[in-house]
Amino acid sequence: MTKSLSLNSKEELLKYIPHRPPFLFIDRVSDLRIGESVRALFYLNPSADYFKGHFPGHPVMPGALMLEAIAQATCVLFAMTYPSDKKRHFYAGSVKVRFLKPLQPGCDLELNSKAISMISKGGVYEISARANGEDVLKGEMGCMCVYEQ
């Protein structure tokens, strides 16, 4: 099995992905296997702005942000699998997903992405998320990487 790598600080993470606060939805990577898979963690801070409006008095993490968090974790996997000096941009190209449970603030969200197929221009990934010991999302995501000329 491929060696397990970890990125335990945001400073390390930010070397690999272009995302920045307030639109960064991973805190650390606990298990990354080059060319294969990634597991990342994100604490759902109750004071996050999106909980204030989604919804007042009944905070739930927006599903779109869960997908974004998994996409960012996948982005780390991709960037570490295909290192490049070129400036590049990452886009989600397709998503098939089932949201299994609503996600409330104050828990750690575990984000998993496993490559089904991956080349230097993008990939297709089996994705899942877990919180409080339960699956909260399962599906498949396709991502593209576009290199600047």
60 binds another protein (CB under 8 A): no
107: number of Cβ within 10 Å = 16
94 binds another protein (CB under 8 A): yes
10 or 121, CB closer to another protein? 121
One-character DSSP codes across 42-87: EE--TT-HHHHHSSTTS----HHHHHHHHHHHHHHHHHHHS--SS-
15 or 121, CB closer to another protein? 121
**The two structure tokens encoding residue 7:** 């990125």
- By CB under 8 A, which span of 10-18, 23-31, 41-49, 113-121 interacts with another protein? 113-121
- Active-site residue, 89 included: no
123 binds another protein (CB under 8 A): yes
CA angle centred on 102, ends 30 and 27, rounded to 5°: 25
Q: Give the binding site for another protein (CB under 8 A).
A: 93-94, 116-117, 119-124, 142, 144
